[in-house]
Structure 1
Amino acid sequence: MTLEPGSAEIIQLAWARRMGFDDGAFGTAAGRRLTRTHEAARTLQFVRLFGSSALVGPQWALDAAAGYSDEELAQHVTLLTITRGHGGHGLGAAALFFADDLPLQQPAQELTVSHGNPEAIELEALCPPDDVNEAGLADLEHRFTIIHVDDGRRTPVACGAYTEREGILAELGVLVAPEWRRRGVGALAASIASHEALASGLTLQWRSDVSNKGSLALARSLGFTAGGIQTSVLLGA
C-alpha cells in the first residue's frame, strides 16, 4: 500500500522531534543534510527519511562525517570507521517502513489473544536471544499475544506489540516462537497490533535490521511502505 499525501511529512515531524530538531526541520532542509551537535551523546545516529537526512552526535563525529555522502553514511561500516578512535561499536543499520492503513488479516479459526505481560514474557523464553532483542517486546507498551490452546494447555505462539513515539508513531515489534514460524501467526499478531494502533490515530512504523530477511519480507507482505534507514553506533565512554 502507498502512504496518503502528507503522511511522509508527519513521519518526518516525529523523527525531527525524536532527534532534537525543530518540528519543520526536514521540510526546510531542501536537500541538505541536517546536523545537530550533541556532545554528551552516547550514540552517533544517521537517519534518512523520504529523501531527507539527519545526523546527530558529538562535533568531532559531525566533522568526520562531512566528507561522506548520505549513501555512505547509511552503511554501518562507515559510521564504525568514523568512530573507530572513540570506541564506536554495535547497533547496526535498520530499514524503516511505515503505513497509515493496512489490510486486515483474517484468521482461519477463532483465536485466543492475551493482553497480559506474563504471556509475552513466556514467549520470549521460547525464542533465541537475538530474536528477542530485535522484537524488543519489553520496550513496547501494548502487547497482543496469540495463545494456542490444546487439551487445556495454553502456549504463547506469537506476539505483536507497539508503543507510542512522539505522540505520532506506533513503533511495532513482532516475535514468533520458532516452531510456529511460517504458519502465518506472525502476520496475524502484527495485524492485530497494527489495527489497534491505527484505531488510536497513530501512524505505523516497522523497524528491521537490514540483514533480517524474514522481518523485511513480513513488513512488505503486510503492506508497509519503505521510507528510509537508521544507522547508528554506540560510542565509548
Structure 2
Amino acid sequence: MAVEDLVRADAVVARLPVVEVLGPAVLAYLPADGFRPVKARVAAVPAGHGGIRALMEAAGPDDVAESGVGDIDSPVFVVRDGADVVAAAGYERWPASTAHMCVLTDPRHRGRGLARQAASAAVSHALAAGLLPQWRARPQASRRVARALGFREWGAQLSVRLDAVE
C-alpha cells in the first residue's frame, strides 16, 4: 500500500480483515515554545470523581470514547458550572514521555471555551512533568481547541481492529 493510503479507512478495509475502524484522526503536538495557556478557574480532581462520571453520562458513550477521558491517569482538571462538572481534561501517559491529551465537554455547554480552559490546565501539568503533549482529534471543534493552545498538526492516525485469524 502507498503510505498515504494507510490512513484511508476504505483502502485498509479493502486489504485486511478489519472488524472495527477508529479514525482517521489528526495527530498534533505542542512545540516547546508554542504553548498558549488560557487563564481559568479549574480544579484538579481524581479520575474517579463523581462529577466526572456525571459528565461522561451527559456526554454519551460515543463522545466519551472519542475523548479518551475514561483513560486519564493524570489528575483531571475540571471546569464547573455551580456544582456540576461541565468540562474535564487530563492525559494518559504513553511511551516515550508522551502525554496523550483527553478532553470532554458537556454537550449543553459546548462552544463557550470550556474545553480550552480545562485542557490548558492539563497541558500545563504535562509540561511541568517533562512530558510531550499529544492531541489526537477527528472533530473540527477538538482540532480548533488544540490549535488555540498552540498545538501543530503533524500527521494522521488510523486505528483498526483486525478479525482474529487462526
TM-score for the superposition, normalised by structure 2: 0.89
* CA distance in 2 between partners of 1:202 and 1:213 (Å): 25
Q: Which residue of 2 aligns with 1:144?
A: 77
Contact kept, 8 Å, 2:28 with 2:151, in 1: the verdict is yes
1:128: how far off?
2.5
* CA distance in 1 between partners of 2:156 and 2:18 (Å): 23
1:130 aligns with 2:62: yes
Q: Which residue of 2 aligns with 1:115?
A: 45
Q: Deviations over 1:141-169 (max 9, x none)?
A: 121122222xxxx1001001102111411
Q: Tell me the SS of whatever aligns to 1:96.
A: strand
Q: Cα gap change, 1:135/1:87 in structure 2, threshold over 3 Å: closer, same or farther?
A: closer
* CA distance in 2 between partners of 1:87 and 1:76 (Å): 10
Q: Deviations over 1:53-82 (max 9, x none)?
A: xxxxxxxxxxxxxxx211122211111111
Unaligned residue ranges in structure 2 (runs of 5+): none
* CA distance in 2 between partners of 1:141 and 1:106 (Å): 23
Q: Which residue of 1 aligns with 2:122?
A: 193
Q: Cα gap change, 1:168/1:129 in structure 2, threshold over 3 Å: closer, same or farther?
A: same
1:92: how far off?
2.7
Q: Which residue of 1 aligns with 2:25?
A: 94
Q: Which amino acid aligns with 1:181?
A: R
Unaligned residue ranges in structure 1 (runs of 5+): 1-67
* CA distance in 2 between partners of 1:103 and 1:215 (Å): 16
* CA distance in 1 between partners of 2:103 and 2:15 (Å): 33
**Kindly, what percent of the aligned residue pairs are identical?**
31
1:231 aligns with 2:158: yes
Contact kept, 8 Å, 2:92 with 2:102, in 1: the verdict is no
Q: Which amino acid aligns with 2:29?
A: F
1:77 aligns with 2:7: no
Q: Which residue of 1 aligns with 2:112?
A: 183
TM-score for the superposition, normalised by structure 1: 0.63
- The equivalent position to 2:140 in structure 1, one of 194, 198, 213, is 213
* CA distance in 2 between partners of 1:230 and 1:87 (Å): 15
Q: Tell me the SS of whatever aligns to 2:115.
A: helix
* CA distance in 2 between partners of 1:87 and 1:172 (Å): 27
- Structure 1's consecutive aligned runs of 4 or more residues displaced over 4 angstroms after TM superposition are none
Contact kept, 8 Å, 1:79 with 1:232, in 2: the verdict is no
More RCO (CA 8 Å, sep 6+)? 2
1:87: how far off?
4.3
Q: Tell me the SS of whatever aligns to 1:218.
A: helix
